[in-house]
């Protein structure tokens, strides 16, 4: 399993993650708009070239700190991989 942040050219993976894991409708345009923003994070777990989980997060500017915080908004995992501990490999972009 690999985990990585999606980049703007990862539209196919992003659409598949939303449609297949969350079972929600989306478009390549909506995913592209999300991925364009550097303060928004779409992190996906991939196994056998298929997304099996994802997290959506947003960078939040703080009044009380000079550094932003990362707000983890949503986590979804396919049922077959829920509650499992596995060796993970983080891939940077």
Q: Which domain holds residue 6?
A: 2-91
Please compute the mean of the pLDDT values over residues 30-57 and round it to a whole number.
96
Query: At 80, is the pLDDT very low, low, confident or very high (cuts 50, 70, 90)?
Result: confident
Q: Which has the closest alpha carbon to 38: 76, 2, 73, 5? A: 5
* Distance (Å, whole) CA 24 – CA 4: 21
Tell whether the model's pLDDT for residue 74 goes beyond 70. Answer: yes
Query: At 89, is the pLDDT very low, low, confident or very high (cuts 50, 70, 90)?
Result: low
Domain CATH for 42: 3.40.630.30
Q: Domain total for the chain?
A: 1
Long-range contacts of 65-72 (CB under 8 A, 24+ apart): 68/39, 70/41
- What pLDDT sits at residue 83? 77
């Amino acid at each position: 399993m690999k985990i990585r942040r999606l980049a703007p050219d990862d539209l196919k993976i992003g659409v598949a993650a939303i449609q297949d894991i969350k079972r929600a409708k989306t478009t390549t345009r909506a995913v592209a708009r999300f991925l364009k923003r550097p303060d928004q994070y779409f992190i996906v777990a991939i196994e056998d070239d298929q997304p099996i989980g994802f997290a959506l997060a947003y960078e939040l500017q703080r009044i009380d700190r000079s550094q932003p915080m990362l707000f983890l908004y949503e986590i979804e995992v396919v049922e077959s991989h829920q509650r499992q501990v596995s060796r993970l490999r983080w891939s940077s972009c």
